[in-house]
């Protein structure tokens, strides 16, 4: 960990001095090249197999992308088989939006999730959702801001669909019962409160306090529970996709964590909404991600033949908690900086415009720490998020609008109106992912992706608020398209056909076949799928696996 100016000395500098204006940023790309983790020498390797062969990928992710399957044909002998029209995997915001939309078209939907419905990064999204609803804003401005912030690497068609969907997405969420902060006029007639996110030319963030994702997930979970055409299976993670002889995705292998057994689900269409990869702790960074974010969807989509994009680009959120150590990486929303909180180094000076794009702000913080202007406390280095200064300029704002920040400060035994928080970048978001078209369809027939597992929307850097917009926009688009194209009869031949070619590629490339993926849980979870399956009393535990919620299949 970088060392810097002692905490008490830095605190005195903050209290006594004028923080001044941040210096102009002369060389943005030079800052990123020198200090952003994505550009760190030796952190990436070229992939040896698969659709992205030869492209650079972070070491930990490359190991999983080039892993062998957790199951084979023998493991699945005797496993129960379930048929559905549309299978949605992952019950965060994108998965729930996809399931609701598909079910509204009259098809049968099975929604399976690794943990419980809502246990996802969606509930941890604090800052808000973007939508061009202001009189001074436009869909074109939103489109251009998103492209520019993503370094012009995003798919322009996907960005256009994202931007143009904003107002309708907000109307849909409000119709579902979601609450938003109002600027004036009270709850019956007020206008939506808008804030400016980093990298944007207009104020277009809409939020509910600083726990917008939690509020969004509340209404989505309720909608899922009230929809009779949706069957929800909790604690049933995805362990492999099913294919037919033509390479089409025709279902998935799930694992019942409570019954220690495999379940085969045959489906005409499969939608992956499995989230990101934060719990791989790339470049040894802490993460703000939930416990199940282990790149499962990326691994399995790649194995069945889907093409990925920007797989070497990840977002390190500028303001993860840097102290105390037991809360390292906990997220402090960009809503704080959007509201006017300053970033201040150990010399008591602002060093970057706080509303620059996230990758630039993160790199600037890492530069301050690397060059000795960071702040050291108990061996941990960061910079100050000057919440006392924010409170002085806007009395009462912390308590009224930054509720989650105050809760995190209380867990740190800090009064944020009197003492600043020590922050440092935390691994936050997977900028790239599985390539999709405007309907969420991948390059593999029958397979869709929505949410953080998908790629092409954000380019090489994501703007605050576009993630919550993305999961609803493309979750709904994927659900609608999957439902409209689903066939009523399951595929006649369903199996692990794609694994034969995959294992041949592993052997020819000299890669180990005993490395298995997906992980399902981070390494420190000490979970071994094959060992867990053996608890059922057979070699793999599959033979008497009960289907969730169906007592007739219980042993």
pLDDT value of residue 185: 57
User: Does residue 314 have a pLDDT over 70?
Assistant: yes
* Residues 244, 137 within the same domain: yes
Q: What is the dihedral of CA 251, 256, 261, 265, to 10 degrees?
A: -20
Query: Is residue 266 a part of any domain in this protein?
Result: yes
* Number of structural domains found in the chain: 2
Query: Is residue 45 a part of any domain in this protein?
Result: no
* Residues 167, 266 within the same domain: yes
Query: Is residue 101 a part of any domain in this protein?
Result: yes
Q: How far apart are CA 218 and CA 93, in angstroms?
A: 10
CATH number, domain containing residue 356: 3.90.700.10
- Is residue 168 a contact partner of residue 129, using CB atoms and an 8 Å limit? no
* Residues 245, 369 within the same domain: no
**In terms of residue numbers, what domain contains 161?**
73-313+431-485
pLDDT per residue as tens digits for the range 442-481: 999 999 999 999 999 999 999 999 999 999 999 999 999 9
Q: How far apart are CA 211 and CA 194, in angstroms?
A: 15
Parallel/antiparallel/unpaired status of strands 109-112 and 230-233: parallel
Count of beta carbons in the 10 Å neighbourhood of residue 25: 14
pLDDT per residue as tens digits for the range 291-303: 999 999 999 999 9
CATH number, domain containing residue 444: 3.50.50.60
* Residues 107, 157 within the same domain: yes
pLDDT value of residue 553: 37
- Give the confidence band of 552 by pLDDT, cuts at 50, 70, 90: very low
Average pLDDT over residues 34-43: 94
Distance of CA 460 to the CA centre of its chain: 14
Cis, peptide link before residue 324, omega less than 30° from 0: yes
Query: Is residue 41 a part of any domain in this protein?
Result: no
* Residues 290, 326 within the same domain: no
pLDDT value of residue 549: 55
Q: How far apart are CA 512 and CA 62, in angstroms?
A: 13
Burial tier of 549 (Cβ tally within 10 Å: 0-12, 13-18, 19+): exposed
pLDDT per residue as tens digits for the range 406-445: 999 999 999 999 999 999 999 999 999 999 999 999 999 9
pLDDT value of residue 488: 83
Q: How far apart are CA 170 and CA 2, in angstroms?
A: 43
Query: Is residue 379 a part of any domain in this protein?
Result: yes
Burial tier of 441 (Cβ tally within 10 Å: 0-12, 13-18, 19+): buried
Distance of CA 435 to the CA centre of its chain: 15
Write down which residue in 428, 446, 470 finishes a domain: 428
Q: What percent of the chain has pLDDT over 70?
A: 95
pLDDT value of residue 116: 95
* Residues 175, 93 within the same domain: yes
* Residues 361, 481 within the same domain: no
Distance of CA 528 to the CA centre of its chain: 24
* Residues 304, 397 within the same domain: no
pLDDT value of residue 536: 67
Q: Which helix or strand (DSSP H or E) is residue 82 part of?
A: strand 81-89
pLDDT per residue as tens digits for the range 268-289: 999 999 999 999 999 999 999 9
pLDDT averaged over the chain? 93
Residues acting as catalytic residues: 358
- State the pTM of this model: 0.94
Q: How far apart are CA 221 and CA 406, in angstroms?
A: 26
Report H helices in 20-155. 28-35, 59-65, 73-76, 93-104, 139-149
Count of beta carbons in the 10 Å neighbourhood of residue 33: 12
User: Does residue 538 have a pLDDT over 50?
Assistant: no
pLDDT value of residue 545: 52
């Amino acid at each position: 960990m970088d060392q810097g100016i002692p905490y008490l000395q830095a605190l005195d500098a903050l209290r006594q001095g004028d923080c001044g204006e941040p210096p102009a940023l002369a060389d943005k790309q030079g800052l990123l090249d020198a200090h952003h983790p994505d550009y760190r020498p030796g952190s990436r390797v070229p992939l040896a197999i698969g659709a992205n062969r030869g492209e650079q990928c972070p070491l930990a992710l490359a190991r999983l992308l080039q892993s062998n399957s957790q199951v084979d044909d023998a493991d699945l002998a005797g496993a129960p088989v379930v048929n559905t029209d549309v299978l949605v995997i992952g019950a965060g915001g994108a998965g729930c939006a996809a399931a609701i939309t598909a079910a509204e078209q009259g098809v049968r939907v099975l929604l399976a999730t690794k943990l419980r419905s809502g246990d996802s990064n969606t509930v941890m999204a604090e800052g808000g959702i973007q939508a061009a609803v202001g009189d001074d804003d436009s869909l074109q401005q939103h489109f251009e801001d998103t492209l520019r912030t993503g370094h012009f690497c995003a798919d322009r068609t996907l960005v256009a669909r994202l931007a143009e969907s904003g107002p309708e997405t907000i109307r849909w969420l409000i119709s579902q019962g979601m609450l938003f902060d109002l600027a004036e006029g009270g709850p019956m007639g007020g206008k939506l409160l808008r804030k400016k996110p980093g990298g944007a030319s207009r104020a277009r963030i809409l939020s509910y306090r600083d726990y917008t994702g939690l509020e969004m997930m509340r209404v989505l979970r309720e909608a899922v529970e009230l929809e009779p055409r949706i069957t929800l299976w909790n604690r049933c993670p995805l362990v492999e996709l099913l294919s037919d002889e033509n390479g089409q995705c025709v279902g998935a292998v799930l694992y019942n964590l409570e019954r220690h057994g495999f379940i085969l689900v045959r489906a005409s269409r499969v939608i992956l909404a499995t989230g990101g990869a934060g719990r791989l702790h790339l470049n040894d960074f802490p993460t703000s991600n939930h416990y199940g974010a282990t790149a499962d969807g990326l691994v399995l989509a790649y194995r069945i033949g889907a093409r990925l994009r920007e797989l070497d680009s990840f977002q390190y959120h500028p303001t993860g908690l840097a102290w105390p150590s037991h809360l390292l990486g906990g997220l402090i929303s960009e809503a704080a900086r959007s509201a006017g909180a300053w970033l201040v180094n150990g010399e008591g000076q602002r060093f970057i415009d706080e509303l620059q794009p996230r990758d630039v702000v993160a790199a600037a913080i890492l530069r301050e720490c690397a060059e000795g202007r960071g702040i050291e406390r108990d061996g941990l280095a960061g910079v100050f998020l000057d919440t006392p200064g924010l409170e002085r300029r806007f009395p009462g704002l912390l308590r009224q609008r930054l509720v989650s920040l105050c809760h995190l400060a209380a867990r740190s035994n800090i009064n944020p109106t009197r003492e600043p928080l020590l922050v440092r970048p935390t691994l936050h978001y997977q900028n790239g992912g599985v390539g999709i078209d405007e309907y969420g369809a991948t390059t593999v027939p029958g397979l869709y992706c929505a949410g953080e597992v998908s790629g092409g929307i954000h380019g090489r850097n994501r703007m605050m608020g576009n993630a919550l917009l993305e999961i609803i926009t493309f979750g709904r688009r994927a659900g609608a398209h999957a439902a409209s194209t689903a066939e009523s009869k399951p595929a006649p031949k369903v199996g692990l056909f794609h694994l034969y070619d995959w294992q041949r590629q592993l052997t020819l490339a000299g890669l180990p076949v005993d490395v298995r993926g997906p992980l399902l849980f981070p390494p420190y979870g000490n979970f071994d799928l094959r060992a867990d399956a053996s608890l059922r009393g057979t070699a793999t535990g599959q033979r008497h696996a009960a289907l969730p919620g169906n007592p007739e299949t219980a042993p």
